[in-house]
Amino acid sequence: MTATPHQQSNRPPHPPPNPAPHASPSWSARSPWRRRGKLGSDTRAAYAFMAPALIGFTVFVVYPLIRSVYFALTRYNGLTAPTFVGLDNFRRMFTTDPSFWPSVRATLLLVVLYVPASLVIGLALAVFCNRRIRGVRLLRTLVYLPVVLPVVATITLWKFVFNPQVGLANQVLTWLHLPTSEWLSGEGSALPSIVIVMLWSVGSTMIIFLAALQAVPTELYEAAKLDGAGSGTVFFRITLPLISPIMVLQVVLQLVTALQTFNQPKILSPDNIGGPGFSTRVLMLSIYNNGFPKLGQVADFGYASAQVWVLFLVIVVVIAATARFSSIWTYSDHVS
Amino acid sequence: MTTSPDVTKASEPAPSPRPTPAPTAPRRPRKTVRTASWYAVALLISSVMVLPLLWMLTIALKGQSAVFQVPPRLLPDEFHFENFIDGPKAIHFPRLLLNSLVITGLSVLGGVMTAMMTGYALARLRFPGRRLWFYVFVGSMMLPPVVGIIPLFQLFKDIGWYDTWLPLIVPAFLGGNPLFIFLARQYFLSVPHSIDEAAKVDGAGHIRIFFSVMLPITRPAWITMSILAFQFSWNDYLNPLIYLYSSEKWPLSVGMASFVSQFAGQTPDWNLYMAANLLYMLPPLAVFFVAQRYFIQGLSALGTVNQR
């Protein structure tokens, strides 16, 4: 810390250890020693600047987190005081509630249908749009367009597209001489229809992949071309490994998004509670139905909170599994 | 693939000055086929994206009976422009629009301001615990919002904020979106240290540095954030649905959704609805076309989350 004369004489071109304030601001900014006297004022300023976010973090993150655990262990309708019932909500969920397992099934089915499809289509579109060709910018804009539109607006639009009699979807199928579907009103086709609506907004995935693709150095492609590599080899041996960190991020983002899907099943199901049957009553919608029921019914905050924790646990497990799995196949240049 | 644009550009306007025309000659037809098939697929993709929207526009122009014509016709026989007056009237559109504008405007202001302040502290001030707080904020980004909905609902109800706009606005002023804090910090890190050091030498305090030096420099960052914040708030459906009971306080998102579901099972006036829905889409569309590059930037920033 206290520089010996020997060390000092070793670096004559550098500024002296205690420069005058005007001597070299950029160098001294990085040196913590000069500003030791000011540290206190910086700390105070920092906490003043962060105060709103710190208050928000306490009130909107920490407090609900703790409270939610407590709620999950109580019977609580939001009107009378909560009564502690231990793990009774969970027992009810796993054994007697007829809608719980169907909602788990709907949630997982939605994830299984949506996440791989959105990644594959998003990446394929990004590769397709990563050419320098006239009109490619317009195409990117059009693919991204549905992402910009309000979710409620696009969902309600699709509700009419899927109308069995006068909707666009069946009309297009008829033109192509394909069998029509009952879409949202069929128990088997309702969830896939919702996935189609979600996939229409694949533009957000596409844009992120496109950014990743454009960061791949072109020399690598040129070198591969010189070596006579085919486009398939180039994609799987160069492109995919280099964008794999973004890929992992995307997988996690999409999983978390899909697990928390709410708007589409809520607005698109004919009864607004996730029908027909339990076909689109995903966990988020189940939580909403229990916590914020229709007029005249009593809310069940305790039970809904317990379901929140089940969903939360699923999210944590899925993220942890993805992180663990991804470290195996993600290309990383840390070794080099 | 990457060299292809240069080939087309060079070979078409000036084929003669090329010293070796022989290798390009057999390659040309294959290239044309490839370009043509690219455009064919591009056309297919864009029609999937645009067809529902165009169809929506034609419905908005159709008369009541034409909407339920079987088989449906793509183009209306007669244009009913009055749908754009009657549709909005049917759902009290002007009032809902005003609600949406107030809620969105305030939460954009609050969210961006708080995020910039926090980002400034985290990136440019040295103080014990700044790493810790950074991880705390980024960590809360990972926490699914669903965990908070019931306790927060109860909290807001207890303090008398149920059926007011406060639960939709106040959290934004208190760092409601950790993603913005993250984005702000990342941008502040890229500003050279010599700048605020120079301001400090000139005797500026932190507040002055923040407002007169940092905010002008970081304009791209907070424009990006404002656009994203606008989009999030304009699109938000779940929160207003939970907190707002009276329909005259609803923002457009809840109003539009209820317009569809109040006719559950029956047949709503789809032509009127679609006209109103198009108007609901217009503000975000306008913002998108004006600030397209910021939109893309904001999203691409997500792609850099794990690169720093």
pLDDT in tens, B204-225: 888 899 998 899 988 888 888 8
Q: State what percent of residues in chain B have pLDDT above 70.
A: 82
The sign one gets for the Cα dihedral A51, A54, A59, A63 is negative
Prediction pTM value: 0.82
pLDDT level of residue B288 (50, 70, 90 thresholds):
confident
Which of A310, A183, A203, A190 lies closest to A259 in space, CA to CA? A310
Separation CA A123–CA A143 (nearest Å): 13
Does B68 score more than 90 pLDDT?
A: no
Separation CA B115–CA B185 (nearest Å): 8
CB contact under 8 A, A128 and B52: no
A284 Cα to chain B: minimum distance (Å): 8
The answer to whether B152 touches A64, Cβ cutoff 8 Å, is yes
ipTM exceeding 0.85, yes/no: no
Instruction: Kindly write down the DSSP assignment for every residue of B200-245, as one continuous string.
Output: HHTT--HHHIIIIIIHHHTHHHHHHHHHHHHHHHHH--HHHHHH--
Instruction: Kindly write down the DSSP assignment for every residue of B163-189, as one continuous string.
Output: TSSHHHHHHHHTT--HHHHHHHHHHHH
CB contact under 8 A, B174 and A52: yes
Which of A159, A157, A162 lies closest to A172 in space, CA to CA? A162
pLDDT of residue A103: 94
pLDDT of residue A69: 93
Tens digit of each residue's pLDDT (9 = 90 or more) over B19-47: 544 554 555 677 888 889 999 999 999 99
CB contact under 8 A, A55 and B174: yes
pLDDT of residue B220: 84
Separation CA A40–CA A47 (nearest Å): 11
CA-to-CA separations, A227 to A223, A224, B119, in angstroms, rounded: 6, 5, 47
pLDDT of residue B26: 52
Q: Half-sphere exposure (CA, 13 Å, Cβ side) for A100?
A: 16
A161 interaction partners in chain B (CB closer than 8 Å):
52, 55
More confident residue, A326 or B110: B110
The answer to whether A281 touches A102, Cβ cutoff 8 Å, is yes
A212 interaction partners in chain B (CB closer than 8 Å):
303
CA-to-CA separations, B13 to A9, A96, B21, B34, B94, in angstroms, rounded: 65, 76, 14, 20, 55
Interface test with B, best of A41, A50, A333 (most B CBs within 10 A): A50
The answer to whether A145 touches B48, Cβ cutoff 8 Å, is no
| Residue B260 token pair | 């569809």
| Residue A247 token pair | 């890929």
pLDDT of residue A149: 93
pLDDT of residue B140: 85
CA-to-CA separations, A59 to A12, A44, A308, A322, B108, in angstroms, rounded: 54, 21, 19, 30, 20
Which of A205, A201, A17 lies closest to B302 in space, CA to CA? A205
CB contact under 8 A, A64 and B253: no
pLDDT level of residue B281 (50, 70, 90 thresholds):
very high
Query: Mean pLDDT in runs of 10 for chain A (336 residues)?
Result: 42 45 44 50 89 92 92 89 91 92 94 96 94 90 92 92 87 89 90 96 91 86 86 86 87 90 92 87 94 85 94 90 77 52
Size of interface A-B (CB pairs under 8 A): 287
pLDDT of residue A27: 42
pLDDT of residue A36: 47
CA-to-CA separations, B10 to A130, A132, A136, B13, in angstroms, rounded: 21, 14, 20, 7
The answer to whether B239 touches B148, Cβ cutoff 8 Å, is no
Does B296 score more than 80 pLDDT?
A: no
More confident residue, B294 or B195: B195
A251 Cα to chain B: minimum distance (Å): 12
Separation CA A317–CA A315 (nearest Å): 6
pLDDT of residue B302: 55
Burial class (CB in 10 A: 0-12, 13-18, 19+), A37: exposed
A5 Cα to chain B: minimum distance (Å): 29
Tens digit of each residue's pLDDT (9 = 90 or more) over B157-215: 999 999 999 999 999 999 878 889 988 998 898 888 888 888 888 888 888 999 988 99
pLDDT of residue B78: 77
A138 interaction partners in chain B (CB closer than 8 Å):
46
* Lowest-confidence segment of B91-100, B109-118, B133-142 by average pLDDT: B133-142
